[in-house]
């Protein structure tokens, strides 16, 4: 299946994920994501895609970046990711992919899915579900060392709730290197399944406060459409919303100034 997206093209194997790729092709899948990539990724630097799934963001990012690193721990999704990267040579010659979970500590972890696996919701938080795998894990620091990454200025993180444990371990790197962070927060996955609404709110509040140093590290916090967002507004949305997408950056960006190709 040939996908054309905002002036960029790539070939994908769509047998299992045909509906997903159709949504990408017709522009209905996360249309605000790609202007963010166009604004903050450049040919002088590398980018990292944490939670690359089957590759839509990675295939797009590699056409903007010097080098693009994709990380996916779900083995079903990773198999398709590898096929899609290989199907787009030589465009993807600057891509490096890793079947690993980026976790607070290097070792092995249980990584799972609420369904059968291979969709966009696999997570470090679901390691005790019926569908789960024992997978290799690297700390973010060890991942950088393993791949020799020294020029990253953009990180996309969409790891279905794992961000709450991972971000505090990345604080020193974020503080010193200052990459733009395109972050998806998933407060909906926090708290035990059988606790009531008050308990879930407490779990979301506690988790959000733990990552507060990372959220407040940058000069600017934008929502997915390029509008400035205060920490107080972000906190309230984390208590009530299913998923929140934000851009943390030291660079100016406005909705009016973003690309709309």
* Dihedral over Cα of 57, 61, 63, 66: its sign: negative
Specify the range with the lowest mean pLDDT, choosing from 54-68, 113-127, 169-183, 230-244: 230-244
The structural domain count of the chain equals 1
pTM more than 0.95 = no
How many percent of the chain have pLDDT more than 90? 74
Domain membership of residue 106 (yes or no) is yes
Domain membership of residue 65 (yes or no) is yes
Domain membership of residue 89 (yes or no) is yes
Domain membership of residue 20 (yes or no) is no
Alpha carbons 225 and 131: distance in angstroms, whole number: 35
Element (H, E) at 140: helix 140-147
CATH number of the domain encompassing residue 189: 3.40.50.150
Domain membership of residue 17 (yes or no) is no
How many percent of the chain have pLDDT more than 70? 94
Element (H, E) at 110: strand 107-113
Domain membership of residue 121 (yes or no) is yes
Q: What integer is the mean pLDDT of 176-184?
A: 97
215 contacts 221 by C-beta, under 8 angstroms = yes
Q: What is the pLDDT at residue 195?
A: 66
Domain membership of residue 199 (yes or no) is yes
- Is the per-residue pLDDT at 112 higher than 70? yes
The range of the structural domain enclosing residue 58 comes to: 2-11+34-249
pLDDT in tens, 3-43: 988 888 889 987 889 999 999 989 999 999 999 999 999 99
Q: What is the pLDDT at residue 255?
A: 52
Alpha carbons 195 and 218: distance in angstroms, whole number: 34
Domain membership of residue 208 (yes or no) is yes
**DSSP secondary structure string, 33-56?**
HHHHHHHH--TTSEEEEES-TTSH
């Amino acid at each position: 299946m040939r996908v054309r997206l905002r002036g960029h093209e790539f070939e994908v194997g769509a047998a299992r994920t045909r509906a997903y790729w159709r949504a990408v092709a017709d522009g209905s899948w996360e249309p605000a994501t790609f202007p963010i990539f166009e604004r903050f990724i450049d040919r002088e630097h590398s980018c990292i895609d944490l939670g690359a799934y089957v590759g839509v963001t990675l295939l797009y990012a590699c056409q903007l970046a010097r080098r693009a690193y994709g990380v996916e721990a779900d083995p079903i999704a990773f198999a398709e990711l590898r096929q899609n990267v290989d199907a787009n040579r030589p465009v993807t010659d600057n891509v490096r992919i890793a079947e690993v979970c980026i976790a607070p500590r290097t070792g092995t972890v249980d990584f799972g899915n609420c369904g059968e696996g291979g969709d966009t919701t696999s997570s470090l938080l679901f390691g005790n579900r019926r569908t789960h795998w024992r997978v290799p894990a690297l700390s973010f620091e060890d991942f950088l060392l393993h791949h020799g990454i020294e020029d990253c200025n953009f990180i996309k993180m969409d790891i279905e709730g794992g961000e709450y444990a991972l971000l505090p371990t990345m604080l020193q790197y974020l503080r010193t290197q200052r990459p733009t962070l395109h972050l998806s927060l998933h407060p909906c996955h926090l708290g035990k399944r059988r606790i009531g609404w008050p308990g879930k709110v407490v779990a979301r509040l506690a988790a959000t406060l733990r990552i507060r140093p990372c959220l407040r590290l940058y000069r600017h916090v934008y929502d997915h459409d390029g509008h400035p967002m205060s920490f107080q507004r972000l906190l309230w949305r984390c208590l009530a919303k299913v998923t929140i997408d934000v851009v943390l950056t030291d660079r100016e960006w406005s909705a009016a100034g973003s690309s709309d190709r």
